[in-house]
Every structure is written in structure tokens, then in C-alpha cells.
Amino acid sequence: MALWLAVAIGGALGSLLRHGVNTVFAALLERPVPHATAVVNLIGSGVIGLLAGAIAAGRLPMSASMRGFVFAGVLGGFTTFSSYMLDTLTLAYSGEPGLALLNVTLQTMLGLAAIWAGYALAVGLN
């Protein structure tokens, strides 16, 4: 139960951070899309890479609850792109570069197809 609570609190914090970035970009630019999303995705990917590397190198001990809070919670609420990138890196480092490439290709293509289908369905419901 503590892990679930840690993820929920972290997710709320990450979502607030994400909204903050969107708000800043909206104030600075006439059109924050895609700049705010790109910045969030790049920051999230850099942070998750740094933390995962520090944990793997034994330089950053982290309990299961803390990992849930930071990885699934804060970073998941901030951007799931960072998890997508970490999954891809993990596949590549595990000696499965073909699966890493397949992961990127399929998730991107299927994600675009899913958003197109959902949008088309919603617009068609008018």
C-alpha cells in the first residue's frame, strides 16, 4: 500500500511540474506546442537516464518505494516518454538492439495510428 501511495503522490507532483512547464511556454510563446512537450520529454529522458545509470552503477541506493515515487510517480506524471526511452535503452543494453528498434518503431507508428483513429472517431461523432 505504501508503494501505491508513493506513486500517487509522485504522480501528482510530476503532473504539476508538467503543467508548470506548459504554463511557462504558453506565456513565453504564442504557440507552446510542440516546444513544451519536447522540453518535458528531453528533461524526463535525461533525468531517468541519470538516475537509472546511478542506480545501476551502485552510486544511488534507492528503496522500492522511492523508485516507485520517482520513476513511476514523478517522472511518469511529468512524462511517460522517459519510461519509453528507458525501456528502449534497457533492451539495447541487454543485447537486444533489434527489439529496441522495434519498440521505437512500433510504439511510434501504433501511437500515431491510435491517436488518428481516436481523433477521427471523436470528430465523426459530431
SS3 96: coil
CA distances from 43 to 64, 75, 78, 118 (A): 23, 10, 9, 28
* Contact assessment for residue 36 and residue 18, using Cβ atoms and an 8 Å cutoff: no
Query: Could you tell me the sign of the dihedral formed by the alpha carbons of 62, 68, 72, 75, in that order?
Result: negative
| 126 residues of the chain, pLDDT tens digit each | 999 999 999 999 999 999 999 999 999 998 777 889 889 999 999 999 999 999 999 999 999 999 999 999 999 999 989 889 989 999 999 999 999 999 999 999 999 999 899 888 988 876
Cβ proximity of 10 and 70 under 8 Å = yes
The model's pTM is 0.81
Query: CA 88, 89, 92, 97 torsion: positive or negative?
Result: positive
